[in-house]
């Protein structure tokens, strides 16, 4: 098993694309176990033959339609109207918009890109430092995979046979906790350092501005209500909800808001298809790597090793958190879920008696934090690109946000009731 992992790391170090590295690393194990190489296409295609996985490209397309169809802009308008009177209100609006966008997009990177492209330039106009704006965008973007619907949760549920609907429900309160703590953080920092412009609070103008924003954005706000309400109410599955999201976003963008011309649709579909193809290729070859780990009995070996280290589930969770944070710093989230979930989830449930849904949320929150942790945090590169700054400039303001995210991770880990309360 060690040789398999070292080979994978060597391929990563040689800048071999993630999907190809995962597939190549598995080949020596297959040969050593006399498994015919025809198993490679069989495992790869079988891993994609899943109704639940159909949701991934659909949510990617829904996110694209939201960005170009005016839905995201109207969500931004509502968020700004709610908190514009507070010092740091625009930074708080970034977090609040990310929370609203997360209820539809299901993607951390899509959330960071959409919200950052709209609000980082506006934050600059209000004299927010660009590194602070980028750090706010990157850290709040992680909510895209925590607040349901989440593509990471869909993938985790498929891999571990945990109810996707239960994972969605479990993500609501932790998502609100993280979002609320980030809002308080940006407001406090803005007050202490004098960031942003302050508008005097007048109840009449504030209420009229909020009502105007709600009128413009009411149909956009109905989107998460329809999607999440349909899933939790048992009207449709997570995959069917993704299809509903695409149809609804298409209807609003083309027919109601008319911000998408019919001639633009092929380009939107093409960009979504390319993004989806990249994700699905990684999913397929990560399944090949997971198959090699299964041949080597990796879950059993790691479970036996951990049981000799500690029998305390609290210590086990601490070790898992430390391990996943490091993994999230260097590995793409979907690949990490496919490789590690089949190993860690059975150990957590069978050896340490940890609820599978709670452990799934711990895994996803860990990897979400990895998206804003250098050196390979995807959200960091997106935010730096939009804000036109270097990674070094981002590090100082990001440290405060990482401290807040780590504190939230500990609460979510050791207070299982936060994740499971709505399931009872």
Q: What is the pLDDT of residues 390-406, one digit of tens each?
A: 888 888 889 999 999 99
Contact 400, 159 (CB under 8 A): no
> What is the rounded distance in angstroms from the CA atom of residue 236 to the CA atom of residue 228?
10
Q: Assign 3-class secondary structure to 117-131.
A: HHHHHHHHHCCCCHH
∠ Cα 77 371 282 (to 5°): 110
User: 109 in a domain, yes or no?
Assistant: yes
- Please, what sign has the CA dihedral across residues 213, 214, 220, 225? positive
User: 156 in a domain, yes or no?
Assistant: yes
With 90 as the cut, is the pLDDT of residue 203 above it?
A: no
- Name the residue among 210, 261, 173 with its Cα closest to residue 80: 210
Q: Could you give the dihedral angle defined by the CA atoms of residues 277, 282, 285 and 286, in that order, rounded to the nearest 10 degrees? A: -150
Average confidence (pLDDT) over 31-59: 81
Contact 44, 287 (CB under 8 A): yes
Cα atoms in the 13 Å half-sphere on the side-chain side of 166: 18
Q: Per residue in 71-81, pLDDT tens?
A: 878 888 888 78
With 80 as the cut, is the pLDDT of residue 365 above it?
A: yes
How many domains is the chain partitioned into structurally?
1
pLDDT of residue 300: 67
User: 285 in a domain, yes or no?
Assistant: no
First to last CA, the chain: 39
With 70 as the cut, is the pLDDT of residue 131 above it?
A: yes
> What is the rounded distance in angstroms from the CA atom of residue 41 to the CA atom of residue 50?
16
User: 44 in a domain, yes or no?
Assistant: no
What's the gap between Cα 108 and its chain centre? 4
pLDDT of residue 299: 65
Rounded to the nearest 10 degrees, the angle between the axes of helix 71-83 and helix 203-232 is: 130
Cα atoms in the 13 Å half-sphere on the side-chain side of 145: 33
Q: Per residue in 26-42, pLDDT tens?
A: 888 888 888 888 888 88
Residue 416, domain extent: 50-260+296-423
> What is the rounded distance in angstroms from the CA atom of residue 230 to the CA atom of residue 247?
14
pLDDT of residue 360: 94
∠ Cα 379 339 331 (to 5°): 30
> pLDDT-derived band of residue 139, with 50, 70 and 90 as boundaries?
very high
**pLDDT: which is higher, 59 or 201:** 59
> pLDDT-derived band of residue 68, with 50, 70 and 90 as boundaries?
confident
> pLDDT-derived band of residue 201, with 50, 70 and 90 as boundaries?
low
pLDDT of residue 406: 95
Contact 241, 21 (CB under 8 A): no
Give me the percent of the chain exceeding a pLDDT of 90: 19
Residue 263 per-residue DSSP state = G
Residue 148 sits at φ, ψ, to 5 deg, of -70, 155
User: 283 in a domain, yes or no?
Assistant: no
Rounded to the nearest 10 degrees, the angle between the axes of helix 265-295 and helix 151-160 is: 30
> pLDDT-derived band of residue 183, with 50, 70 and 90 as boundaries?
very high
> pLDDT-derived band of residue 363, with 50, 70 and 90 as boundaries?
very high
Residues in the chain: 424
pLDDT of residue 178: 95
pLDDT of residue 408: 96
Tokens of 263: 């001639």
Distances (CA, A) of 326 to 235, 319, 371: 39, 11, 11
Q: Per residue in 249-298, pLDDT tens?
A: 899 888 888 888 889 999 989 988 887 887 788 778 877 887 887 787 76
Give me the percent of the chain exceeding a pLDDT of 70: 96
Query: What Rg value do the Cα atoms of the chain yield, rounded?
Result: 22
Q: Per residue in 312-359, pLDDT tens?
A: 899 999 988 988 888 887 777 777 888 788 888 988 888 889 999 999
- Name the residue among 197, 172, 92 with its Cα closest to residue 136: 92
> What is the rounded distance in angstroms from the CA atom of residue 292 to the CA atom of residue 223?
41
User: 375 in a domain, yes or no?
Assistant: yes
With 80 as the cut, is the pLDDT of residue 105 above it?
A: no
Rounded to the nearest 10 degrees, the angle between the axes of helix 108-125 and helix 71-83 is: 50
> What is the rounded distance in angstroms from the CA atom of residue 24 to the CA atom of residue 234?
41
User: 381 in a domain, yes or no?
Assistant: yes
pLDDT of residue 409: 95
Q: Which string of DSSP letters, residue by residue, matches 159-184?
A: HHT--HHHHHHHTHHHHHHHHHHHHH
pLDDT of residue 1: 65
> What is the rounded distance in angstroms from the CA atom of residue 342 to the CA atom of residue 192?
45
User: 26 in a domain, yes or no?
Assistant: no
CB burial of 388-421 (b: ≥16 within 10 Å; e: otherwise) equals ebeeebbeebbebbbebbeebbeebbeebebbbe
Average confidence (pLDDT) over 192-199: 78
With 90 as the cut, is the pLDDT of residue 182 above it?
A: yes
> What is the rounded distance in angstroms from the CA atom of residue 247 to the CA atom of residue 232?
19
């Amino acid at each position: 098993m060690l040789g398999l992992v070292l080979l994978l790391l060597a391929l990563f170090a040689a800048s071999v694309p993630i999907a190809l590295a995962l597939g190549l690393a598995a080949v020596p194990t297959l040969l050593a176990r006399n498994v015919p190489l025809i198993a490679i296409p069989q495992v790869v295609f079988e891993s994609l033959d899943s109704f639940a996985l159909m949701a991934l490209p659909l949510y990617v397309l829904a996110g694209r339609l939201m960005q170009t169809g005016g839905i995201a802009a109207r969500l931004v308008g509502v968020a700004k109207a709610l908190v514009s009177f507070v010092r740091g209100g625009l930074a708080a609006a970034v977090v609040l918009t990310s929370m609203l966008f997360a209820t539809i997009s299901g993607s951390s990177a899509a959330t960071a890109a959409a919200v950052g492209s709209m609000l980082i330039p506006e934050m600059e106009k209000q004299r927010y430092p660009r590194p602070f704006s980028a750090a706010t965008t990157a850290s709040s973007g992680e909510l895209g995979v925590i607040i349901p619907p989440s593509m990471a949760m869909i993938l985790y549920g498929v891999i571990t046979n945990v109810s996707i609907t239960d994972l969605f429900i479990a993500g609501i309160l932790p998502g609100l906790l993280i979002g609320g703590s980030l809002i308080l953080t940006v407001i406090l920092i803005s007050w202490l350092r004098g960031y942003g412009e302050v508008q005097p609070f007048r109840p009449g103008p504030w209420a009229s501005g909020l009502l105007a924003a709600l009128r413009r954005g009411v149909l956009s706000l109905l989107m998460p209500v329809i999607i999440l309400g349909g899933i939790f109410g048992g009207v449709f599955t997570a995959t069917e909800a993704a299809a509903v999201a695409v149809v609804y976003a298409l209807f609003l963008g083309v027919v109601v808001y008319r911000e998408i011309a019919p001639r633009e649709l092929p380009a939107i579909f093409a960009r979504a298809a390319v993004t989806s193809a990249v994700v699905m290729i990684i999913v397929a070859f990560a399944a090949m790597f997971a198959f090699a780990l299964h041949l080597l009995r990796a879950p059993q070996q790691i479970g036996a090793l951990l049981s000799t280290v500690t029998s305390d589930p609290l210590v086990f969770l601490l070790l898992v958190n430390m391990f996943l944070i490091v993994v999230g710093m260097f590995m793409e989230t979907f690949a990490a879920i496919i490789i590690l979930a089949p190993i860690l989830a059975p150990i957590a449930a069978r050896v340490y008696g940890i609820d599978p849904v709670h452990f799934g949320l711990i895994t996803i929150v860990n990897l979400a934090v990895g998206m804003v942790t250098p050196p390979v945090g995807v959200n960091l590169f997106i935010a730096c690109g939009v804000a036109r700054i270097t990674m070094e400039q981002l590090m100082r303001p990001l440290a405060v946000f990482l401290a807040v995210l780590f504190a939230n991770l500990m609460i979510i880990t050791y207070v299982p009731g936060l994740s499971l309360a709505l399931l009872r």
